[in-house]
């Protein structure tokens, strides 16, 4: 917890999103100081509360409903339970929209229009509102109405086409990345677009509508590999753990562990051949160009490097590579990550007070934006319980205790 001045202090965000991609975007805004009000269904909450393999254990028998999916994407938010299908719920949302700078939602295209909560309706109430819709395929086009999740877009956007074991090897074929990377990057694109819209509003006074699609992100994140295809018309092969630039770049095996090596420049490769006491490999016709080392004769070269590295421990190999300036890093299991001295130095495990957790705190992953000099991203609030701040937020909108209780009885909140 911290009171450091924040970049987005004074900005109010209504987060009507669920599961992962859009909630990540709203969380980034919260990390940067915005007041993020998360709208959840009464008694049910965000669907993401039920995703993942682990849950934060609550104290005194409290069910926190803090799954790993929810916990990683909903800190720095206040939770307001609200049934927006009821007129009273719509009234509350419109009052909130009048006070807000940003609204984020990820409902199906056109769904919120049925309840008078679409951009055009809320724009009439608050012309400065920035309204961001996050969907699978975008607001228009032949697939706009279809639902979409991360794995679909890893397949559709090209990422799986270049991820996986190379053809001709055992187990060859496309492979999904472990984390929900399309969702995660879409969340970052959401936050980036909103911050751009806030800058535009600062100059013009105008809000705007933002259409963010997981499909767009999935194609863009294939990045230089997709650009290679656009330039050449040839699809680069899957390389398994091989690098996408120079070679050799791949996992190498020591006697007791694994290291990832990137000796992609001619000079790095020359140093490696000297370190291996096989300097003749530098001029060997099989490996005398980056293309040969990284592509055509890659497997043969990696066999030679592994024959050398297996004669040492992982610590010894790492020390030897570091000693001559060849980029390399120890492979870490998830538990190893938190023992890494540089990870510890950067403070990437953010132990955060959590009044509902049995342990009294929860370990979160620090924001990569936490090292900004003047306005770093900070963690001020642990992820909320369902509806934890409902009464607090309604009171800010002018509702008294009697009316709040009445809304509860009507199942509006």
Answer whether residue 391 shows pLDDT above 90.
yes
- CA-based radius of gyration for the chain: 25
| Residue 230: per-residue pLDDT | 96
DSSP conformation class of 357:
B
Q: How many residues does the chain have?
A: 413
User: Of 172, 38, 199, whose CA–CA distance to 103 is shortest?
Assistant: 38
User: Could you give the CA distance from residue 214 to residue 186 in angstroms, rounded to a whole number?
Assistant: 6
pLDDT in tens, 113-169: 999 999 999 999 999 999 999 999 999 999 999 988 999 999 999 999 999 988 888
Mean pLDDT of the chain: 95
State mean pLDDT over 36-47: 96
Write the CB contacts of 296 (distance below 8 Å, at least 6 apart in sequence). none
DSSP H/E element including 202: helix 181-204
Residue boundaries of the structural domains of the chain: 12-220+344-409, 249-253+258-330
Share of residues in the chain with pLDDT > 70 (%): 99
Cβ-contact 386, 79 below 8 angstroms: yes
Answer whether residue 12 shows pLDDT above 70.
yes
Answer whether residue 298 shows pLDDT above 60.
yes
| Residue 131: per-residue pLDDT | 98
| Residue 3: per-residue pLDDT | 58
Band of residue 296 on the pLDDT scale cut at 50, 70, 90: confident
State mean pLDDT over 14-29: 98
Active-site residue flag, 47: no
**CATH fold match for the domains 12-220+344-409 and 249-253+258-330:** no
| Residue 277: per-residue pLDDT | 96
State mean pLDDT over 342-359: 96
Active-site choice (31, 35, 118, 183): 183
User: Could you give the CA distance from residue 242 to residue 250 in angstroms, rounded to a whole number?
Assistant: 5
pLDDT in tens, 317-337: 999 999 999 999 999 999 999
Band of residue 1 on the pLDDT scale cut at 50, 70, 90: very low
Cβ-contact 138, 128 below 8 angstroms: no
User: Could you give the CA distance from residue 33 to residue 12 in angstroms, rounded to a whole number?
Assistant: 9
Cβ-contact 101, 107 below 8 angstroms: no
Band of residue 358 on the pLDDT scale cut at 50, 70, 90: very high
Angle value at C-alpha 394, between 392 and 398, nearest 5 degrees: 115
| Residue 264: per-residue pLDDT | 87
Q: What is the DSSP string of 287-323?
A: SSSHHIIIIITHHHHHHHHHHHHTTS-HHHHHHHHHH
Q: Distance between the two ends of the chain, CA-based, in angstroms? A: 29
Beta-strand pair 77-81/35-40: parallel
Answer whether residue 2 shows pLDDT above 70.
no
Q: What is the DSSP string of 255-271?
A: SS-EEEEE--SHHHHHH
Cβ-contact 189, 166 below 8 angstroms: no
Cβ-contact 214, 221 below 8 angstroms: no
Beta-strand pair 328-330/35-40: unpaired
Answer whether residue 236 shows pLDDT above 90.
no
pTM for this predicted structure: 0.94
CATH code, 12-220+344-409: 3.40.50.10540
pLDDT in tens, 195-205: 999 999 999 99
Dmax (CA) of the chain: 85
- Token pair belonging to 307: 């024959």
Cβ-contact 244, 221 below 8 angstroms: no
State mean pLDDT over 299-306: 95
Fold for 249-253+258-330, please state it. formyl-coa transferase, domain 3 (3.30.1540)
């Amino acid at each position: 917890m911290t009171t450091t001045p924040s970049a987005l202090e004074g900005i109010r965000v209504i987060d009507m999103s669920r599961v992962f991609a859009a909630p990540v975007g709203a969380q980034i805004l919260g990390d940067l100081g915005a007041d993020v009000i998360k709208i959840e269904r009464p008694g049910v909450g965000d669907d993401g509360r039920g995703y993942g393999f682990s849950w934060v254990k609550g104290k005194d028998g409290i069910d926190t409903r803090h799954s790993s999916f929810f916990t990683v994407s909903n800190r720095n938010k206040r939770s307001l339970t609200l049934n927006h299908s009821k007129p009273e719920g719509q009234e509350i949302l419109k009052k909130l929209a009048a006070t807000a700078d940003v609204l984020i939602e990820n409902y199906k295209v056109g769904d919120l229009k049925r309840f008078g909560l679409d951009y055009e309706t809320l724009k009439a109430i608050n012309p400065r509102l920035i309204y961001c819709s996050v969907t699978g395929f975008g607001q228009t086009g032949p697939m706009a109405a279809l639902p979409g999740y991360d794995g679909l877009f890893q397949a559709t956007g090209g990422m799986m086409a270049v991820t996986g074991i190379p053809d001709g090897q055992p187990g060859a074929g496309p492979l999904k990345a472990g984390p929900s990377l399309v969702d995660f990057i879409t969340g970052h694109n959401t936050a980036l677009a909103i911050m751009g819209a806030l800058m535009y509003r600062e100059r013009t006074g105008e809000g705007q509508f933002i259409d963010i699609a997981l499909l767009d992100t999935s194609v863009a994140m294939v990045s230089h590999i997709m650009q290679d295809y656009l330039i050449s018309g040839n699809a680069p092969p899957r390389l398994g753990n091989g690098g996408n630039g120079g070679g050799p770049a791949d996992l190498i095996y020591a006697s007791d562990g694994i290291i990832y090596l990137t000796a992609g420049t001619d000079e790095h490769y020359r140093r490696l051949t000297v370190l291996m006491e096989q300097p003749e490999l530098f001029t060997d016709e099989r490996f005398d160009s980056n293309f040969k080392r990284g592509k055509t004769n890659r497997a043969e070269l990696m066999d030679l490097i592994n024959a050398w590295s297996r004669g040492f421990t992982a610590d010894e190999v790492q020390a030897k590579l570091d000693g001559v300036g060849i980029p390399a890093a120890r492979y870490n299991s998830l538990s190893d990550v938190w023992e890494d001295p540089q990870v510890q130095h950067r403070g990437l495990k953010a132990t955060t007070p959590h009044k509902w957790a049995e342990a009294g705190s929860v370990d979160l992953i620090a924001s990569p934006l936490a090292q900004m000099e003047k306005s770093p991203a900070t963690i001020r609030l642990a992820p909320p319980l369902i509806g934890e701040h409902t009464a607090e937020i309604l009171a800010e909108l002018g509702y008294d205790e009697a009316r709040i209780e009445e809304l509860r009885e009507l199942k509006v909140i």
